[in-house]
Amino acid sequence: MKITWLGHSAFRIESGKSIILIDPFLTGNPGFGNLDKKDATRGVTHVLLTHGHGDHVGDAGQIAKESGATLLANADLASWMGRHHGLDRIEQGNTGGTVSLGDFSATFVNALHSSATITSDGVSHSLGNANGLVLHFENDPTLLHMGDTDIFSDMALINELHRPEIGIVPIGDRFTMGGAVAALACRRYFSFGKVLPCHYGTFPIIDQTADAFLEAMEEDAGTVMVTKAGTEASYG
């Protein structure tokens, strides 16, 4: 498995025959910076969305349309994306449900956050509930992308049910849990072998570094992989 952070909450995951983009906010993403969009999206087979905010939906519609990739999102968001972007290959789900996607599956789990968008005409559209996504692979470690969330005690159930070995964790504060709380979530409720922090350093009003998270992880700080956007890392 190869994982590349693309800034903010966007990730490229390569496993088996699948090339997955999660929350592909590339255009306008300061964390993506001068990275090559063609390289980031090359060969994509699936686009997965945790919720409907613009800094997560990002370029999903364009990427799915141009590549023919399958787009997966909660039912409300998936339907909205299909209508507004003319997408044919859509998979809908909702909290607790699992969707088989070839050589991996995706399970929608809880996240404590909102999910809506405001269109150019000023109208707000509710786009279902925010989720985290658990990805089970045939030959690679199970991965949890938490989406945008605060800590919650039922994270223990997510761990009991799915035993994710890799955690993608928001740490930037203000719109998600901050570093200290994110570290508590990881240490109390999960047994991650690797942790990839995200949702920081993108905009001035959220935390700019992972320092608070690393400090709060204490003796588990060695599991944390802090990388520059665009750096590919192998797991499993």
- The ranges assigned to domains in the chain are 2-228
Given a cut of 50, the residues of the chain with pLDDT beneath it are: none
**What is the fold, at CATH topology level, of the domain defined by 2-228?**
Metallo-beta-lactamase; Chain A (3.60.15)
Using a 10 angstrom Cβ sphere, with 0-12 exposed, 13-18 middle and 19 or more buried, the burial of residue 226 is middle
| Per-residue DSSP letter, 69 | P
| Alpha-carbon dihedral 226, 174, 9, 27, rounded to 10 degrees | -120
pLDDT at 122: 81
Q: Are 24 and 15 in contact (CB under 8 A)?
A: no
